[in-house]
Amino acid sequence: MRIVTVGREFGSGGREVGKRLADELGFHYYDKEIITEIAKRTQLDENYVETKLEKGLDSNFHITYSHTFMYPYSPMQNDIKILISERQIIKELAAAGRDFVIVGRNADILLAEYKPFNIFVYADSDSKVARCRARADASEKLSDRELKKQIRKIDSNRAKHRELLTNSKWGSKEAYHLCVNTTNITIKDIIPVIGAYASTWFEKHGL
Amino acid sequence: MRIVTVGREFGSGGREVGKRLADELGFHYYDKEIITEIAKRTQLDENYVETKLEKGLDSNFHITYSHTFMYPYSPMQNDIKILISERQIIKELAAAGRDFVIVGRNADILLAEYKPFNIFVYADSDSKVARCRARADASEKLSDRELKKQIRKIDSNRAKHRELLTNSKWGSKEAYHLCVNTTNITIKDIIPVIGAYASTWFEKHGL
C-alpha cells in the first residue's frame, strides 16, 4: 500500500496539491468522508467539525489538554472528541489497504508505520494571501493584514496540535521527503513532476 | 539564462545532485574552475582555498570580520580575500550568460537578480555519516560521534557565512523553491524528476 501525506501552510494550496496528486497517481483521496465519519461518531454537526479542523482547534487547546482529564466536562471536550475520532478513522482507512493521498491531520505521524511519502507545501506570505482571496467567498472582508494574522494563527494552532503527537516540529523540513514552495507557481503545472517523484520514491523503497 | 543553485547540508549529497543535474539539463557545472580562479587572483594555494571553502572558514570569522578593517593584517585576511574573490567570480560567471548549476557559495543570494531555481538538499544525521564514510579516503579514522560533530561544525560555519550576506536563515525552507531529503535515496534515481521540476519552473517563469 502506498500513502502520500501532504502537510501544508494555510493558503499554500496544499489541498489542491493533494487532490490533484491523487488524480495523477490514481490513488484515493480521503478528505470529506473523514469529516462525515467524525461527525457521525461524535454526534457533532458536520460543518462544525469541518470548520474546527480546517481553522485549527482552539489555540489554548494544548494547554488545557491535560487539565481536561481532571475536568472532563470542560469546553474543550468536543475538540478532544474530534481529534480522537479523527485519529481512529485515519488508522482504519489505512488498515483498509487502498493507496491514498491525505492532506493535513498529522497523517505522516499517525501512519508512520506504513512508510508514507511525506510532502510539505509552503509559500511566502503574499502568495498565501492571494490564494486565500482567490478561493474565499465575496463576503470575506478582511484586510491583507488581518488575513495574514489569521493565517499565522491557523498555522500556529496546527503546530500546537502536532506537538501533542510528536517532538518533530510542524513544517520543519526534516520530517518530510520533499518540501515544495508554491510561491508564483500554478499548482497543476507541478503535479506531474511531484507525482513522478512520489512514484520513484515508492518504487525504490519497494512499495 | 537559467541558473540552478544547490544549497546543501554537509554529507547530504548536494554536490552529486548538482553535478548530475547539470548533466541532466545540459547545463554547465561551475565548481573546480571557481577554486582555480580564486587561487589565481588571491595568490593562495589552490588546495588551501578548496579546503577552506569546503570545510567552512574559521568559525570565528563572523565575529572578527568587522575588526579586520581596523586591523588589516589579522589572520582572517586570507578568508576575507577568498570570499570577496569568490563573490566576484560568481558574478562574472553569471554575466557570461551560460545556463549553469552551482553548488553552495550562497549563490542563490548572490545571483538573485537572475531568478535562479534554488534547491536545498538535506538528510538525517546517520545518512550523512554514511555518505561521508562512502567518499572519505581510508585514512579517515573518526568515530561516528566525531564525524557528526564535524558535520555540525561545518554546517554551522556555512550558516554563519550566510549571515554575512542575508537575513534569510541557511537551510530554512523559505529561501528555496524545492527542498529534497536524500535520506535512504540513491541520488541518481531522483535526478530526472528534479530536472523535470526545474525545467517546468523555468518554462513557467519565462526563462
B12 contact residues in A (CB cutoff 8 A): none
**pLDDT > 90: percent of chain B:** 62
8-state DSSP, A169? P
Q: Residues B9, B16: contact at Cβ < 8 Å?
A: no
Pairing of strands A100-103, A28-30: parallel
Inform me whether the C-beta atom of residue B178 falls under 8 Å from chain A C-beta atoms. Answer: yes
pLDDT tens, A38-77?
999 999 999 999 988 877 665 454 444 444 455 544 556 7
Higher pLDDT, B192 or A134: B192
Is the pLDDT at B64 greater than 90, yes or no?
A: no
Cβ-defined contact of A179 to B184 (cutoff 8 Å): no
Tallying the residues shown for chain A, one arrives at 207
| Of the partner residues B124, B178, B180, the one whose CB lies closest to the CB of residue A174 | B124
Element (H, E) at B168: none
**Which residues, in sequence order, are bridge partners of residue B29?**
B101
Pairing of strands A117-122, B100-103: unpaired
Residue B141 phi, psi (nearest 5): -120, 25
B184 neighbourhood in chain A, CB within 8 Å: 205
Q: Which residues of B touch A185 (CB under 8 A)?
A: 201, 204
Q: What is the pLDDT of residue A99?
A: 98
Q: Which chain B residues touch A108 with a CB distance below 8 Å?
A: none
The structure's pTM equals: 0.87
If you write DSSP's letter for every residue of B67-102 in order, what string do you get?
Answer: HHTTSTTSTTHHHHHHHHHHHHHHHHHHHTT--EEE
Q: Is A37 helix (H, G, I), strand (E, B) or coil?
A: helix
- Nearest Cα of chain B lies from the Cα of A196 at a distance, in angstroms, of 6
Say how far apart CA A181 and CA A158 lie, in whole Å: 19
Residue contact B184–A205, C-beta within 8 A: yes
Q: Do A18 and A120 meet the contact criterion of CB atoms below 8 Å apart?
A: no
Strand locations in chain B (E): 3-8, 28-30, 100-103, 117-122, 178-181
Q: What's the mean pLDDT when you consider all of chain A?
A: 88
pLDDT digits (tens, 9 = 90+) for B7-28: 999 999 999 999 999 999 999 9
Interface contact flag, B185 A201, Cβ < 8 Å: yes
- Amino acid at the residue B10: F
pLDDT digits (tens, 9 = 90+) for A82-107: 989 999 999 999 999 999 999 999 99
C-alpha–C-alpha distance, residues A36 and A14, integer Å: 21
Tell me what the mean pLDDT of segment A15-43 comes to: 96
Residue B188's pLDDT is 95
A173 to B173: CB separation less than 8 angstroms, yes or no: yes
